[in-house]
Amino acid sequence: MTEKQKGGALARLAGILCNNPEFRRMVAVKTGLPCDTPADARALILKRCDITSRADLDHVPKAEAEFHAAFRLPWMRWQQGARQQNQTR
């Protein structure tokens, strides 16, 4: 019997992001797909990273790299842009 791997820091981060309405808005804008609920965000992450569980982000190097490139880095840039807009107001 195969033991299910536990998620670590990336799985927790993905869960936190999926629950963030602004993150979901960014995902919808970037992908052109609806991302209204945490379940929508989770499904998009799993599909894009080609995994079946967010826990895989901590154990599958290719999925980790895709998560960073497709979600984490764009989110960091999105937040930076929002901060810059707020500073110019």
Number of other residues whose CB lies within 10 A of the CB of residue 33: 12
CB atoms within 10 A of CB 58: 20
- Note the pLDDT of residue 88: 65
How many other CB atoms are found less than 10 A from the CB of residue 77?
11
Q: Which residues contact 2 (CB under 8 A, 6 or more apart)?
A: none
pLDDT of 1 above 70: no
Percentage of the chain exceeding pLDDT 70: 92
How far is residue 24's CA from residue 66's CA, in Å, rounded to a whole number? 17
Per-residue model confidence as pLDDT tens digits over 39-81: 999 999 999 999 999 999 999 999 999 999 999 999 999 999 8
Q: For residues 54 and 58, give the distance between their C-alpha atoms in angstroms, rounded to a whole number.
A: 8
0.75 surpassed by pTM: yes
* Confidence at residue 3, expressed as pLDDT on a 0 to 100 scale: 63
pLDDT band at 82 (very low <50, low <70, confident <90, very high): confident
Give exposure, 1-27, as e/b (b: 16+ Cβ within 10 Å). eeeeeebeebbebbeebbeeeebbebb
| pLDDT value at residue 11 | 97
